[in-house]
Amino acid sequence: MKKDKIRNVAIVAHVDHGKTTLVDGILRSSGVFRENEAVKDRVMDSGDIEKERGITILSKNTAVLYKDYKINIIDTPGHADFGGEVERVLKMADGVVLVVDAFEGPMPQTKFVLSKAFELKLPVLVCINKVDRKEARVAEVEDEILSLFIQMDADESYLDSPFIYASARNGWASSSLDEPKENMNDLLDKIISYIPEPEGDENALFKLLISTTDFNDYVGRIGIGKINSGKVKVGDELLIVNHNEKDKRKKIHITKIYEFEGLKRVEVQSSSAGNIVALSGVEGINIGDTLTDPEDDSPLEFVKISEPTLAVKFSVNTSPFAGREGKFVTSRQIRSRLYKELETDVSLRVEDTDSTDSFKVSGRGELHISVLIENMRREGFEFMISKPEVLFKKDENGKLLEPIENVTIDCDEIYVGNIIEKLGSRKAELIDMKPGRSGYTRLIFKVPARGMIGYRQEFLTDTRGNGILNSEFYGYEPFKGEIPKRILGSLIAFETGTASAYGLGAAQERGLLFVVPGDEVYEGMVVGQNPKGLDVEVNVCKKKQQTNIRSSAADEKIQLTPAKIMSLEELMEFIEEDEFIEITPKSLRLRKDILDSNLRYKSKKYKK
């Protein structure tokens, strides 16, 4: 297809503002699905975790044919932890559709994705979504978006960006709020008229920047990117070079070329400048590499990815239950899997440590790392992780710097005092406080990243689950001082065995339990939390002694308080420095680093 008939557009937005649902509507409007075809919601979220959590983790490519035009669409993640995906895939786009919730308005991640679009000078088409909501405040949100453009020092041309109004869930978009439509045609028309055709000379030498990669058991490594110039056909000999790795030079032969059509990759014999393609026969290729004609070995510049801010240690499982549930348990298998993740996740860092059984994994946030852990669990891996720790830096004068997050909170006015007090103790700085939407108050803080570890669950409890918390990386600032540690202590199993109702009944007097009758426990395993802040050993396996003396009081039924079963993210927030989370395909367990109580006591005494 000729270059002037191609449009490459990325859908960007804050998390949960409706990007993926909007893509669903576009696919339906363009006839990708039959009228009677049953299609699941958020069809672009193909991963199990994406479907379960309702978030986009990896960017996806699709394409629709509309009025003789081919519109290549890139669905991007909205969560800050996956910002690395957004940064790199925007290199394939010639414009963006910014989706904003008609009720929530611009949020922290809206600002982040916009800043990346502005850096690349991409035109922005604004789509105000969910206009059919009762609480929608479209006019105010329009003003807020334009104010955001001004606040971010955007070029004046962005103030003339067109607005489209949509209800992605109901499958329509309209250029006028007063004229709801039955399809997404108004949005598609505006993409064609407003987003420019791709640049690049079809007659120049071939060049393509790899923005994302995939793997197929049959054809091996697949590189995906936009052809910047020239043409490519099956059998061509190309060179792999990299802007950041000057010594990288490798010759390859292209075995297959795919273009995107709906949700499929369609094999073609050749393609030219402006098209987004997937190429196989490119073993050894990585994100950021340039595929180029051997006559011109100059690489294309790759966008600088933001640095990780959080690190977790992955270790071989050493608990008494090690190897029971996992398929891959050795350090070699764990190491191989972690380094394989680097091929598709440019925001991740993996380092070997002094121990051959441990690896340091650094990412953009708790969610970023927890998704990797969850994927490994489902693949059959068994391992342990340590308490997440933030990554510090030093400036040229040797002064310690730490990562700071911009935290935006929307909550009911009655919770404001408690939130300010809690975050204040975590060295937060209140930047702004103003009345928000529907009686909510909006608070904006600058908080050290380490101060946010363990706070999200506390926040949900403090606001009865009604508060909304969003954060984005702000930058590095001088160290803010010590932050009080977790005020809760651990209840630690005294022996290995099976938890009994009798033992749990006695143990629950010391605090909230994490296990139920019938659960297997081992010595040194954390089985609950103690509100007094002390680590206490409890015997949850204790059985009631059988005697021939009976009394009415002794035979009363034991009433157990429901156990608190924590998710992976909750455990990552709860864990202390002398603890590990044991992760297997079937179980999540919290344990002490030193399992033996006598050795643990001597270790503490020695440290003091």
**DSSP strand pairing (69-75 vs 172-174):** unpaired
Closest among 489, 508, 505, 520 to 582, alpha carbons compared: 520
| Residue 446 labeled ligand binder | no
E strands, 243-391, are 250-253, 256-261, 264-268, 270-272, 276-280, 289-292, 310-315, 349-352, 358-363, 383-385, 389-390
DSSP 136-173: --HHHHHHHHHHHHHHTT--GGGGG--EEEEEGGGTEE
In whole angstroms, what is the distance from residue 443 CA to residue 264 CA? 44
Listed in sequence order, the residues at least 6 apart from 292 whose beta carbon sits closer than 8 Å to its beta carbon are 205, 206, 207, 208, 238, 239, 241, 298, 299
Closest among 93, 121, 117 to 8, alpha carbons compared: 93
In whole angstroms, what is the distance from residue 581 CA to residue 589 CA? 6
| Residue 608 labeled ligand binder | no
**Residue keyed to tokens 């499958």:** 171
| Residue 20 labeled ligand binder | yes
What phi and psi, each to the nearest 5 degrees, are found at residue 351?
-130, 145
| Residue 110 labeled ligand binder | no
Q: Which residues partner with 210 through β-bridges?
A: 225
Is residue 407 within 8 A of residue 430, CB to CB? The reply is no
For residue 110, CA distances in Å to 105, 416, 472, 578 come to: 9, 24, 10, 38
Is residue 386 within 8 A of residue 315, CB to CB? The reply is yes
What phi and psi, each to the nearest 5 degrees, are found at residue 161?
-60, 135
Determine how many CB atoms are found less than 10 A away from the CB of residue 23. Answer: 26
| Residue 16 labeled ligand binder | yes
| Residue 19 labeled ligand binder | yes
DSSP symbol at 561: P
| Residue 593 labeled ligand binder | no
**Residue keyed to tokens 């006839």:** 31
| Residue 64 labeled ligand binder | no
The answer to whether the Cα torsion of 327, 332, 337, 340 is positive or negative is negative
| Residue 21 labeled ligand binder | yes
| Residue 14 labeled ligand binder | no
Total number of residues shown for the chain:
608
Listed in sequence order, the residues at least 6 apart from 320 whose beta carbon sits closer than 8 Å to its beta carbon are 496, 522, 523, 595
Helices H / strands E in the chain, number of each: 14, 35
DSSP symbol at 438: G
DSSP 489-541: EEEEESSSEE--HHHHHHHTTSSEES--TT-EE-TTEEEEEETTS--EEE-TT
Query: 541-550: long-range contacts (C-beta < 8 A, 24 or more apart)?
Result: 541/493, 541/494, 541/495, 541/496, 541/497, 541/498, 541/499, 541/500, 541/503, 542/500, 542/502, 542/503, 542/506, 543/500, 543/502, 543/503, 544/500, 544/502
Determine how many CB atoms are found less than 10 A away from the CB of residue 106. Answer: 22
Is residue 539 within 8 A of residue 500, CB to CB? The reply is no
Annotated binding site: 16-21, 129-132
Annotated binding site for GTP: 16-21, 129-132
